[in-house]
A = this chain, B = another copy of it.
Amino acid sequence: MKQMNQTGVTVWFTGLSCAGKTTVSEAVAAELRSLGYTVECLDGSAVRQDIGKKLGFSKADRDENIRRIGFLAHLLTRNGIIVLVSVISPYNAAREEVRKRIGNFIEVYVNAPLELCEKRDNKGLYKLARSGEIKEFSGIDLPYEPPLNPEVECKTNLEKITESKDKVISKMEKLGYLQRFSD
């Protein structure tokens, strides 16, 4: 049995691979869940397995992948779920399209310098991209377009995870998505 009293919203974490999108979003999810909110986390690469098997990494296929993740987020959001999406989503136009479709939308730019992301390289993908074994990698041989007006910017090279997390929670509160905080 679910007991809910919440407004659906999608919090969209965009940024380079290894910028800290999933890390920050997981910290946000943990805090919200501890407060009793119903939260769904959608990870870009995981979701690809489920609804994007035939998609590659060209601009067109990435845009289609973002559109599909946006559709999932939209379905959940309109049913009152708080959805945390972590996906590179390198193109402004695709993110704007998703924002328009969903409505209740908060864009979080998870910003870390490329050099730092490349140093972290949790999955060894930058190494493969540099050696040419992976093509079409955002930040290496494809562009990453930083958000123009993100609701939140987390500088994960300067902030602790808890600071980034607090910025997101605070913005959600200010925008009226966490009413129970002010009860």
Which A residues fall within an 8 A CB radius of B? 1-8, 38, 40, 50-51, 53-55, 64, 67-68, 71-72, 75-76, 78-81, 179
A166→B135 CA distance, assembly (Å): 55
- Taking a contact as CB atoms under 8 Å apart, the answer to whether B2 and A8 are in contact is yes
- Taking a contact as CB atoms under 8 Å apart, the answer to whether B72 and A38 are in contact is no
For A3, the chain B residues whose CB sits under 8 A away are 4-5
- Taking a contact as CB atoms under 8 Å apart, the answer to whether B76 and A4 are in contact is no
Instruction: Beyond A2-B5, A40-B78, list 18 extra A-B contacts (CB 8 Å).
Output: A1-B5, A1-B7, A1-B179, A2-B6, A2-B7, A2-B79, A4-B4, A40-B75, A50-B68, A50-B71, A51-B72, A53-B64, A54-B55, A75-B75, A75-B76, A76-B76, A79-B79, A79-B81
Partner of A38, one of B7, B50, B55, B80: B80
For A78, the chain B residues whose CB sits under 8 A away are 40
Partner of A79, one of B71, B76, B179: B76
- Say how many copies of this protein the assembly contains: 2
Closest CB of chain B to A61's CB: distance in Å? 9
- Taking a contact as CB atoms under 8 Å apart, the answer to whether B71 and A38 are in contact is no
A152→B54 CA distance, assembly (Å): 35
- Taking a contact as CB atoms under 8 Å apart, the answer to whether A71 and B54 are in contact is no
Given A4-B4, A7-B2, A80-B2, residue A54 in contact with residue B54 (CB < 8 A)? yes
For A2, the chain B residues whose CB sits under 8 A away are 4-8, 79-80
For A71, the chain B residues whose CB sits under 8 A away are 50-51
